[in-house]
Chain A
Amino acid sequence: MNTLETKAIEVTDLTVAYQEKPVLWDVDLDVPPGVLLAIVGPNGAGKTTLIKAILGLVRPAAGRVLIYEKPYPAQRRIVGYVPQRGSVDWDFPTNVLDVVMMGRYGNLGWIRRPGKAERELAMNALEKVGMQAYAERQISQLSGGQQQRVFLARALVQDATVYFMDEPFQGVDATTERAIVALLQELRANGKTVVVVHHDLQTVTDYFDWVMLLNIHRIASGPVEETFTSDNLRQTYGGRVAFMKN
């Protein structure tokens, strides 16, 4: 942390609507560098949408997103992304190593093919997630937890400063969950910022040091011990939310 003022992520007045139906309303979020942030909220709270809007995958109706004080397109190289595991066809004809090397495509630029250097980076990343033995394995032969590890390895080779992960714990076994947590904590120890869409309220205090409570608009965000209060949780999950009538 060079200055206290620097923010890794700064979201201001972000509003997203699908077909004029609001999904996120006027959301503000400041994340300092080097924290492990969980975004929690009920189904349909806009957690995934928030990540997608930050990454420019959905176009916001209004608002601004800065990554280390610059808009996202200028900072692509320092951002890593782990999409939901179920968003791809795991029967696609490719192997583990190849998927992980896709994390280098952004740095490679057009037309250039991945080479030996990329291969090495990918193997290192696979070792970190405990999957080096599976490098040549066809991806359809992986279990859910292994698929998730492959996606994490792909994000690792992006060598990013800020990571966004969409439900990395979804449907993985206990071993993988522990491995992922260890990895996230290692990333934080190296000064990286990690934003995770998270479902399991039980584990928030154990795994994360920051939390954002979201239900279409931001309920609260900040350090877990201050923010993860029963009062805030009731506000996030309790009661029904009614928005614009049309």
Chain B
Amino acid sequence: MKTLIPFNYTLIVVAIGSALLGIISGALGTYAVLRRQSLLGDAISHAALPGIAIAFLLTGSKTPLILVLGAALAGWLGTLLILSIIKLTRIKYDSALALVLSTFFGCGLVLHTLIQRTGNANQAGLDTFLFGQAASLLERDVLTMGILGGIALLIMSLFWKELKLLVFDEAFATSIGLPVRALDILLTSLLTVAIVLGLQAVGAVLMSAMLVAPAVAARQWTDRLAHMVLLAALFGAIAGVSGTVISSSASRIPTGPTIVLCATVIVGFSIALAPNRGLVWHWVRQRKNKARMQRHGKTTFTAQEKLAERLATDRKLLESPQREGDLEA
């Protein structure tokens, strides 16, 4: 060991894999966050477990592609069930999501113990599913990730303006003849691909963070969707690589949680310091305003302050009506 961090071949493969995952989930997670479906990823990733178990039971194979297919299918079924529950009953989005997430996972657990009992698999399978095992990523896995993720990102950029309009203004999109149902399905499918690819690296429990954190961080730095997607991908990649490197530099630090914590640090940094939106600047501006107001007396506001105040009230007005499916706190 010449350096503190051993840069060996395995580490490079794992780092590339984590970076790829960060790019894919960061870019696609942007749409989930903008559509206020941040937790849909959590549901899809948990709902994938029975799919993996059934795929294994049916084929007896542990080929990643087959398991990925099973996971995607089950994740899809879960999403469909959530949507039909909301549509057909008065149960709201959050309850439907929680119900599907936990009970699908329970079914998966039952199937998993069933497999275990037949002596066909070992416990490691479930642990990998829950927490991922970035360290076990092979060149082959990274290649699969790169190809599938690349296709997903290519589709995203091909339908760029259609997806943007879908997320921003669905009614207008419908009025100009865009097939919004099909686009909605496409977007959820892309999200499912990102999640299933990430399961192996960070696992079901933490996958949602990989979708949400880079996007939330990116939102603070830019007001353009294109930049937000690129930045989210970049943040995702940084989190992936730094998490991998940190966890390999000391013993017994699992990779997945470290990647998530790196992503969280990026979010904290962005929320605090991003220009314009950052909390620190906000606080500084407030202090300055207060000082100025004290100097001029409270009756004279500058035009700028008046505008700022009006914008603030406008924003409040816009945000006050809680959207359906939104969480009240």
Contacts and interface: CB of A to CB of B under 8 A. Distances in A.
Interface of A: 52, 55-57, 73, 76, 79, 81, 83, 86-95, 98-99, 102, 105-106, 108, 110-111, 113-114, 138, 140-144, 154, 158, 171
B169 A88 contact: yes
B162 interface: yes
A102 B169 contact: yes
B228 interface: yes
B281 interface: no
Contacts of A93: 34, 219, 222-225, 227-228
Contact of A57 (B171, B222, B225): B171
B175 A81 contact: yes
Given A93-B223, A93-B228, A113-B160, A55 B175 contact: yes
* A57, A95, A114 pick with most chain B CB within 10 angstroms: A57
B167 interface: yes
Contacts of A144: 314, 317
Contact of A56 (B174, B224, B311): B174
A79 B174 CA distance: 12
A90 B318 contact: yes
A87 B169 contact: yes
9 contacts: A76-B176, A83-B171, A87-B169, A93-B223, A93-B224, A94-B168, A94-B224, A108-B161, A140-B223
B165 A102 contact: yes
A89 B34 CA distance: 9
Interface of B: 34, 158-162, 164-165, 167-169, 171-172, 174-178, 219, 222-225, 227-228, 310-311, 314-315, 317-319, 321
A76 B179 CA distance: 13
A93 B277 CA distance: 13
B169 A83 contact: yes
A173 to B, nearest CB: 10
Contact of B167 (A87, A92, A140): A92
A138 B223 contact: yes
A141 B161 contact: no
A141 B224 contact: no
Contact of B174 (A57, A94, A171): A57
Contacts of B158: 111
A105 B166 CA distance: 12
A94 B225 contact: yes
Contact of B162 (A52, A90, A110, A138): A110
Contact of A86 (B159, B164, B310, B318): B318
Given A92-B168, A93-B227, A111-B158, 7 more contacts: A93-B219, A94-B225, A102-B169, A105-B162, A105-B165, A113-B161, A140-B223
